[in-house]
Amino acid sequence: MFESLSDRFDGIFKRLRGRGRLSEADVDEVLREIRLALLEADVNFTVVRGLVGRIRERAVGAELHQALNPAQQIIDIVHQELITTLGGETIKISYESKPPTVVLMAGLQGSGKTTNSAKLARWFKAQGRNPMLVGADLQRPAAVQQLRTLAERVGVPVYSAPDDVVASGQGDPVQVAVGCIDEARRLGRDVVIVDTAGRLAIDEELMEQVRRISDATSPKYTFLVVDSMTGQDAVTVAENFHQTLALDGVILTKLDGDARGGAALSVKEVVGKPIAFASTGEKLDEFDLFHPDRLAGRILGMGDVLTLIDKAKEAFDEQQAEEAAARLMEGQFTLEDFLEQMAQVKKMGSMSNLMKMMPGMPKELRNQEIDDRELAKIEGIIHSMTTAERREPAIIDGSRRQRIATGSGVSVSEVNALLKQFGEMQKMMKGFGGMLAGGRKKKKGKKAKGSRVTPKGGNPKLQLPPDLGDGKTPFRLPGV
C-alpha cells in the first residue's frame, strides 16, 4: 500500500545523504517534497500541514545530535513524527473484571466487518481468551451464515436469532444483542464480539440501530471497520460513526492493497481515535494489533524486523529449529529438514511481504513480487523423491533425476539445479562447522591465545577462528 510513498521518501532522503550541513533553505526544500509526497498519498490536508509544521519546527530549531549527520537527523525527526501521526502507541486491550467483555463491531457494508469479526475472535483466542461471535446483522441472512462459516474455521461458537427468523430477514438485532450476554455467561465465554449490520452508505436508520445495540450491551470497546482502499472517504465514515458511537478505535482492512495509504495516516489526527488493529490480507491469521512505530519504519524503508520476529515465533517450532541448526552445522542437514523449514517459512506469509519487512533491503528487492509458486515447485521436486533420496541426495543418478522430474512436472535441469545448490550449501555449512570445532580445540592447547573471537551481540560461548571476524563487527556467513 505504501510503496509509492516509500519510493518518494527514499528519493528525498537519498539526495539528503549526499549533502553536508543543511541550511534552512535546504530544510524548506525537503519539506516541500515531503508535503507533496503525503498529499499524493491521499493524506488529509490538515494532517499534512500539522505533520510538516512539526518536522520543520524540530529540524530548524533543534541542535544537531553529535552521533547523526544533518540528513540522518531529518530522517530521524520524520520517523518520530510519522509515529505520532499514526497514533504513537499500540492500543492495550483490557478486560472486564466481570465477564464477558463486549466488543461492538460497526462499519459500512463491504468494509470487511464480518470477516474481521472472525479475525478478531481468532486473535482473542490466541491471547488465551474464550470468545463468542454474535450475528446481529439480521438484514442480510447471508451475513449470519458467513459468520457461522468463519467461526467454524476459528473454532468459536456463534449466537444469533433462530434460523427461521434469520431467513425471514425480520429479526430484531437489539434483542439478539441483549440475549448474547446471558448466553456467553452460560457457555463460559469471556469475550463477546457483536457483528452489527452495515449499509452501502451512512443513514439515520443504520446509526439508530447501532446506537440501540450499543446501549443494550454497554461494550468495553467499539471498533469501526474501515476499508483503507477508500482513501479519504474512510476518514469521513469514521468521523460520522464517531459522532454517534464514541469509537474506541479503528480496524483498518486491506492494508496489503494498492491504494495510496492516506487513510492510515489520517484517521488518528482527524477522528482522535487510534488504529487498533490492522488486517493485511484475506486469511484469518493476517490480522494483528496495529504498531505505529513498525509501519512508520516500513514507510521509510527501514523494514519491520519486530513483526518479522513475531511471525517467526508463531510459525517456528523452537526445538525443531534448534535441532535443524545443529544438523546444519554438523553437515547432516538433509532435504527432509529443508522441506520442513520451507513449510514453516510459508506459515509466516508470502515471500514478497517478508522481503518488505527486512531492514536494509534494497528498494528493487523490497518491491519485487516473488512468485510463491517457485517454492511450491521446489516442494514438488523434494516430495517426488524417496525417503532414502531425501536423506542421501548423492544416490540420485540420471535415471532417478528423470523420474523425479517427471513426478514433479519440472525439467531435469531444474532438478539438477536444486541438487547442486543444496550440495554447495551442505559443503559450506559442513566446512564452517568444522572451523568452529577447530576453534574450540585450539582453546584447550597452548596456542589458544588470540583464538577467541566473539561477534558483536553474539554468544560468548561461541568460539570462532580469528580469520572469521575481528570481534568488533557483526559476523556474517559467506554469501549472506
Mean pLDDT of the residues in the chain: 75
Task: Please give the residue range of the domain that contains residue 195.
Answer: 101-302
- 133 occurs within a structural domain: yes
- 478 occurs within a structural domain: no
User: Best-predicted range by mean pLDDT among 388-402, 449-463, 464-478?
Assistant: 388-402
Determine the pLDDT at residue 469.
Answer: 40
The three-class DSSP label of residue 310 is helix
Determine the pLDDT at residue 458.
Answer: 42
Host H or E run for residue 123: helix 113-126
Confidence band of 208 (pLDDT split at 50, 70, 90): confident
Confidence band of 72 (pLDDT split at 50, 70, 90): confident
C-alpha–C-alpha distance, residues 304 and 358, integer Å: 6
- 253 occurs within a structural domain: yes
Confidence band of 453 (pLDDT split at 50, 70, 90): very low
Number of structural domains found in the chain: 3
The H-assigned helical ranges of 127-222 are: 141-154, 163-168, 173-187, 204-217
Q: Assess whether pLDDT exceeds 60 at residue 131.
A: yes
**Which CATH number covers residue 415?**
1.10.260.30
Q: Where would I find the beta strands (DSSP E) of 308-395?
A: none
Least trusted range by pLDDT, from 79-88, 133-142, 203-212, 360-369: 360-369
- 350 occurs within a structural domain: yes
Could you say which of 260, 278, 302 is where a domain stops? 302
Are 164 and 71 in a shared domain? no
- 128 occurs within a structural domain: yes
Contact of 184 with 99, CB cutoff 8 Å: yes
Going by C-alpha positions, the residue among 266, 270, 286, 268 that lies closest to residue 278 is 286
Host H or E run for residue 159: strand 158-159
Q: What global pTM score does this model have?
A: 0.62
Question: What is the arithmetic mean of pLDDT over 281-299?
Answer: 83
Q: Degrees (nearest 5) of the Cα angle 352, 355, 360?
A: 150
C-alpha–C-alpha distance, residues 123 and 91, integer Å: 14
Confidence band of 316 (pLDDT split at 50, 70, 90): low
More confident site: 361 or 419: 419
Are 26 and 164 in a shared domain? no
Say which residues have a Cβ less than 8 Å from residue 383's Cβ, sequence separation at least 6. 339, 408
Are 163 and 140 in a shared domain? yes
Determine the pLDDT at residue 446.
Answer: 46
Are 380 and 416 in a shared domain? yes
**Which CATH number covers residue 8?**
1.20.120.140
Q: How many CA atoms lie within 13 A of 232 on its CB side?
A: 11
- 343 occurs within a structural domain: yes
Are 63 and 125 in a shared domain? no
User: Best-predicted range by mean pLDDT among 360-364, 387-391, 400-404?
Assistant: 400-404
Percent of the chain at pLDDT > 90 equals 19
